[in-house]
Amino acid sequence: MVAYRPHDLLWARAWPQDAALPDWVCPQWLAMAPVVVRRAPAAIGRIAVGLRGTTRNQRHAAEIDASAVLRCVTPEMLAASVPAWPDCHTIEALHHLKPLLDATGWAWGPTGSVGFALASGLPVLRTDSDLDLVLRMSSPPDAVQADALRSIVASVIHCRLDLQIDTGAGGFAYAEWAAGRPRVLLKTDHGPLLTASPWEPR
Catalytic residues: 130, 132
Query: What is the residue-wise DSSP string for 43-73?
Result: -TTEEEEEEE-SSTT-EEEEEEEGGGEEEEE
CB atoms within 10 A of CB 120: 15
What is the distance between the alpha carbons of residues 108 and 2, in angstroms, rounded to a whole number?
Answer: 20
| Residue whose C-alpha is closest to residue 4's, from 87, 65, 55, 51 | 65
Burial degree of 147 (CB within 10 A; 0-12, 13-18, 19+):
exposed
Residue 117 backbone phi and psi in degrees, to 5: -65, -40
Q: What are the residues whose beta carbons fall under 8 Å from the beta carbon of 70, sequence distance 6 or more? A: 11, 12, 13
